[in-house]
Every structure is written in C-alpha cells, then in structure tokens.
C-alpha cells in the first residue's frame, strides 16, 4: 500500500467508519492516545495545535489504545466523555484499536514497511505525520511535544507543501 489514505477506522463510540482518504489534501497528525498516561496532558497541546492549524489544512486524529501499560482500559463512551470534559477535545477520535502485537491495525504494518521498527510506537502519544498525499513524513516519540520546535517545524513544512 503506497498511501495512508487507504486505511479505515471505526469512529469512537460509533458504528460508522471513516478512511484517511476522507482527509486527503490535508496534513494528518496521527497520535495513539491513552487517558491514564503521564503523557495524557499532551491532549491539551494537541487540541491547541488542531485549533491553530485546522484552517490551514491540519487534522489531528487520536487513536485510543490500551496496548501500552494498560492505560486506556475504559469503554469508548468513557474515553469520549474524558476527552470532552477533561480537555475539550474536538479533533476526531477513532474507536479503540490495537497498535502492538499480532492483531495490530494495518496502518502500523504500513508504517513498519516504510520506516522500519523505529517508526512504530513504543508507548502512548507516539505521533505520525502524514502528508497531504498520504505519505509518511516522519514519526515522533511520545516525549516530543506537539507544540515543540521539532514537531512545529515539520508540521509547518508539510502545510506549506503542495
């Protein structure tokens, strides 16, 4: 598969699905999220980033997962409630997925094919930056701040590219 746009997700706490193709022409920042992680406060920065850059073509997409430290054990409705009430999240969230192990979502097989194991999440709040055309630009470990210079530089370059 040559483009991230082919991947499909179920909406959080919903029956309907979406594909990343729905965001074609936009830069997509994909983040595996968890509600009970030391990095959970990054939700605040992710929402600020989304609000600041969505009109320029950035989509932030949260992928809840319980794979790292069992830090997302709640139901999808509990996750939705937590995100809305604790951080005012308005960016899209997918249904819970597996990221590590044999049943991982195919998106992460694609990431490994392109970037090797170093592109895969090792913990919650790992970030994948996808170009407007659906190519993987880069991956960022959990400790890289969404509003830090490393990420902001890459995001601004991606947003300015055609």
Kindly write down the DSSP assignment for every residue of 115-151, as one continuous string.
Answer: H-GGGS-SSTT-EEEE-TTS-EEEEE-TTS-TTSHHH
- Which residue, chain included where needed, has tokens 């319980």? 66
Alpha helices, DSSP H only, in 6-69?
42-53
Q: Strand 27-33 and strand 58-64: pairing?
A: parallel
Q: Find all residues with CB under 8 Å of 88, minimum gap 6, and list them.
A: 47
Q: Dihedral sign, CA of 140, 146, 149, 151?
A: positive
Active centre residues (catalytic): 37
């Amino acid at each position: 598969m040559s483009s991230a746009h082919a991947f499909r997700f179920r909406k959080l706490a919903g029956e309907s699905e979406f594909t990343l193709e729905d965001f074609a022409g936009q830069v997509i920042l994909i983040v595996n999220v968890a509600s009970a992680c030391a990095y959970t406060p990054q939700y605040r920065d992710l929402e600020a980033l989304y609000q600041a850059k969505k009109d320029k073509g950035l989509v932030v997409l949260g992928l809840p997962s319980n794979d790292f430290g069992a830090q997302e054990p709640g139901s999808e409705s509990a996750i939705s409630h937590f995100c809305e009430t604790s951080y005012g999240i308005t960016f899209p969230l997918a249904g819970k997925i597996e990221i590590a192990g044999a049943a991982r979502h195919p998106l992460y097989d694609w990431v490994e094919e392109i970037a090797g194991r170093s592109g895969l999440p090792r913990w919650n709040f790992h970030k994948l930056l996808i170009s407007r055309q659906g190519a993987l630009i880069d991956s960022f470990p959990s400790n890289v701040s969404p509003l830090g210079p490393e990420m902001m530089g890459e995001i601004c370059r991606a947003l300015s590219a055609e």
